[in-house]
Amino acid sequence: MYDVKSFFASKTIWGGLIALIASAAAIWGYAITPADQAQIVELITGIGGIIGSVLAIYGRIVATKKIA
């Protein structure tokens, strides 16, 4: 496994963070079901993809040097 990806691109990391937040929320009386957790992870990864795409396009537009 030699491919490397960003921390933010990892669904495992996002799933773990959402599970942690859901556990903490349960302490304060809020309930987040596993199905809701999965939807939140999908939403976050979708938003992350959109933000990454916009930043890549913006970066290329404002770049002052050619890609070689």
Residue 46 phi, psi dihedral angles, 5° rounding: -65, -45
Span 31-40, pLDDT tens digits: 888 898 889 8
The pTM of this model reads: 0.57
Q: Rounded mean pLDDT of the chain?
A: 82
Has residue 1 got a pLDDT over 60?
no
Task: Assign 2 a pLDDT band (cuts: 50, 70, 90).
Answer: low
Own/partner pairs for 35-44, CB < 8 Å, 24+ apart?
A: 41/11, 41/14, 41/15, 44/14, 44/18
Percent of the chain residues topping a pLDDT of 70: 93
CA-closest candidate to residue 35, choices 12, 13, 19 = 19
Task: Assign 48 a pLDDT band (cuts: 50, 70, 90).
Answer: confident
